[in-house]
Amino acid sequence: MSTQLCTRTEIDPRGPRFGGTITTIVLAVALITAGSTLSTVLVAWQAVVFGLGAIVGLYAQPYGIVYRRIIGPRLAPPVALEDAAPPRFAQAVGLVFMTVALLSIALGATAVASVAIGLALAAAFLNAAFDFCLGCEMYLLGKRALVQ
Amino acid sequence: MTGIVILCVALVAATAFGLWRRATDGRMHDVRPVPDADDAPPGQLHIADRGEHGGDVLTAAALGTSVLGSRATFVQFSSAFCAPCRATRVVLADVAATNPGVVHVDIDAESHLDLVRALHIRRTPTVLVLDARGVIRQRASGATRKADALHALDALNEP
């Protein structure tokens, strides 16, 4: 006997992990070059990527498109599909960190920007290396704290 | 320079956290000492009834289900943004289907925040293993493996 939650859009779970890998690399370069124009451009680009994934949908997320068009077709079919809602929520969390980073850069607070980038990088790395969604874990804690 | 330090700290911390989670996820822990038997029939006790029974007790009503399992009930707390919840759901539904007297109840954590707070649920999936009387006997956070679920069933019979 099992009570099911409602059905949702499904995706190949390797897509978000590929995206997490690219995100980790992009943000690592942004950290190494912190304070430069290149760093700002990379953070802005990553903000756009997260924004597309979170607001429009995972099908519009650039790294997801690369995975579906180029990587996925060359791999064996996925063993199981996964719900699209958790990775999409993670994109929204990433967008928040990138927004904080961009605002900090605009205000000249490079160190604060680097911390925000570092937190997003840690989350993306956990996703890529361990298939672990940090933003998803924070969701229930956030609900517990905010909803009476 | 600060950026490179933050990069290294982020990678080391994330790796340590990931390895720790990989080692502990889904592992069942004993919740309380086994309470005295026959002091209460199933389905008659209150939510999170502490004390005299020696452990927290959940009722079918508190869980919003019709009946508890005559042998065991797996209570799974899930949320919408939770990939391992799905894998856990498949495992526990299978264990419930193939073991007589075992029931799997999947609870949406967001819409049961009172229960979530009373039971100190911090992550999804969190799985509670109830015995026939609804006493919470074991608990695991993170994706549950079938072997761990079956082992938890066996452990219910131990004194």
CATH number for position B39:
3.40.30.10
What range does the domain containing B110 cover? 28-156
State residue B51's pLDDT score: 43
Residue B10: band (very low, low, confident or very high) from pLDDT cuts 50, 70, 90: very high
Q: Average of pLDDT values for B133-153?
A: 92
Q: Average of pLDDT values for B119-142?
A: 91
Q: For residue B114, tell me if it sits in a domain.
A: yes
- The strand order across the sheet containing B126-130 reads B29-30, B136-141, B126-130, B72-78, B102-108
Chain A (46-75) residues lying within 8 Å, Cβ to Cβ, of chain B: none
Backbone angles phi, psi at B53, to 5 degrees: -90, -5
The string over A24-36, giving b where at least 16 C-beta atoms fall within 10 Å of a residue's C-beta and e elsewhere, is bebbbebbebbbe
- Total domains present in chain B: 1
The one-character DSSP state at B75 is E
User: What residues does A10 pair with on adjacent strands?
Assistant: A83
State residue B144's pLDDT score: 92
The candidate with the shortest Cα–Cα distance to A94, out of A132, A135, A125, is A135
Strand ranges, E, within chain B? 29-30, 72-78, 102-108, 126-130, 136-141
- Look at the alpha carbons of B14, B20, B21, B23 in this order and tell me if their dihedral is positive or negative: positive
Q: For residue B3, tell me if it sits in a domain.
A: no
State residue A32's pLDDT score: 96
Q: For residue B13, tell me if it sits in a domain.
A: no
Q: For residue B135, tell me if it sits in a domain.
A: yes
Asked if the model's pLDDT at residue B41 lies above 50, the reply is no
Mean pLDDT, chain B, rounded, equals 83
State residue B30's pLDDT score: 85
Q: For residue B16, tell me if it sits in a domain.
A: no
State residue A124's pLDDT score: 96
Judged by average pLDDT, the poorest of A29-33, B4-8, B25-29 is B25-29
The candidate with the shortest Cα–Cα distance to B69, out of B131, B115, B119, is B131
Of B78, B116, B121, the CB nearest to A5: B78
Q: For residue B141, tell me if it sits in a domain.
A: yes
Of B9, B86, B106, the CB nearest to A83: B86
Cα A138–Cα B152–Cα B138 angle in degrees, nearest 5: 50
A45 and B CB contact within 8 Å = no
Q: For residue B12, tell me if it sits in a domain.
A: no
The candidate with the shortest Cα–Cα distance to B58, out of B135, B153, B138, B152, is B135
Q: For residue B22, tell me if it sits in a domain.
A: no
Asked if the model's pLDDT at residue A37 lies above 60, the reply is yes
A121 and B CB contact within 8 Å = yes
SS3 A110: helix
Q: CB–CB of A143 and B93 under 8 A?
A: no
Q: CB–CB of B6 and A118 under 8 A?
A: yes
